[in-house]
Structure 1
Amino acid sequence: MLPGSKLPSVTFRTRVRDDSLGGPNPFRWQDMTTEDYFAGKRCVLFALPGAFTPTCSTYQLPGFEKGFADFQAHGIDAIYCLSVNDSFVMNQWAKAQGLENVQVIPDGSGEFTRRVGMLVRKDNLGFGLRSWRYAAIVKDGRVEAWFEEPGLCDNHGEDPYGVSSPDTVLEWLAADAQGAAA
């Protein structure tokens, strides 16, 4: 997406903890919209091919989680991790990763991912439709900066990672702050 583009308005089906329900699975459905996540905030959004996958679980998600204070220092209010996985999977992945700072967004049907042009086939890995790896800085629902891994295509033989890394996004934020101060 180009800087200045408005994120597509989509409803995400999420599961949230509700202790009033009791029992072993005290979660209820809660619809969240693009506007619920991004309106009135400056955020980092990063997307990846799948929860529990090696690069996503070892580098990308932990890097954003551990660097949260650095992102806040550059005016970031929230960091969101989006994947074409359902809410059950995303919640369990967040729990397994011990997330305290990054919030997960389940794009179970891939609608948001399709509408931002990042939905790709990963049949070669047995994944089906998934997100291409990217990151964005979003201010009040509009793309401020876009970081897309090279080679966007179906059934890519590799999983490029670097352009959408936490370090790259932080470098852009630091340069942007320098430019604003000049």
Structure 2
Amino acid sequence: MIQQGQSIPNGTLSQLTDDGMQSLPTQELFANKTVVLFAVPGAFTPTCSEAHLPGFVVLADKIKAKGVDVIACVAVNDAFVMQAWGDAQNASELMMLADGDASFTKSLGLEMDTEGFGGIRSQRYAMIVENGVVKQLNVEEGGQFEVSSAEAILAAL
């Protein structure tokens, strides 16, 4: 599993925008920026939709006021699902990123096999990344939602 002080691995995430499908190399996404990246096991799932994503939507201005350039949500879903979920959650201040084949999640060592739920998914986590280097990493224990909340990240900034 990636650790604090390590660089984000090279990879590509996807985002559906008004200009169409965008491929975002992680080197560009994290370069010369402070990024809060949080991951959920799946879009439209209960804890993700009722607490995790909404917390970042509500606190986006306060998080950005602490010097964060980008707040991004990533899940092992496709970009169409991530955009629809972001629209449904009024997450216009956040980047909704897709890791469709879980390759980025696997490169971080933060994948989990949910078997009947959906197969390989991301563990729930949040991290603060400065210029491509992980400064803070909060990974949830199975089934928990505490350390990766927007409130926990805001307190860590």
State the TM-score, normalizing by the size of structure 1.
0.82
**SS of residue paired to 1:123:** coil
Q: Structure 1: which 5+ residue stretches go unaligned? A: 19-27, 152-158, 174-182
| Shift, 1:14, TM fit | 3.3
| Shift, 1:133, TM fit | 0.3
Q: 2:138 aligns with which of 128, 132, 147?
A: 147
More RCO (CA 8 Å, sep 6+): 2
Structure 1, residues 119-169: CA drift from partner, whole Å, max 9, x if none? 111114x21110000000000111011001124xxxxxxx21111011111
User: Counterpart of 1:168?
Assistant: 152
**Bigger Rg, structure 1 or 2:** 1
**SS of residue paired to 2:156:** helix
Q: 2:23 aligns with which of 31, 37, 54?
A: 31
- Partner AA of 2:66 in structure 1: H
Percent identical residues: 40
1:18-97 equivalence runs, <5 A: 18=19, 28-97=20-89
User: Counterpart of 2:96?
Assistant: 104
User: Counterpart of 1:131?
Assistant: 122
| Shift, 1:4, TM fit | 1.2
User: Counterpart of 1:4?
Assistant: 5
State the TM-score, normalizing by the size of structure 2.
0.94
Let me know the Cα RMSD of the aligned residues.
Answer: 1.2
Q: What count of residue pairs does the alignment treat as equivalent?
A: 156
| Shift, 1:91, TM fit | 0.9
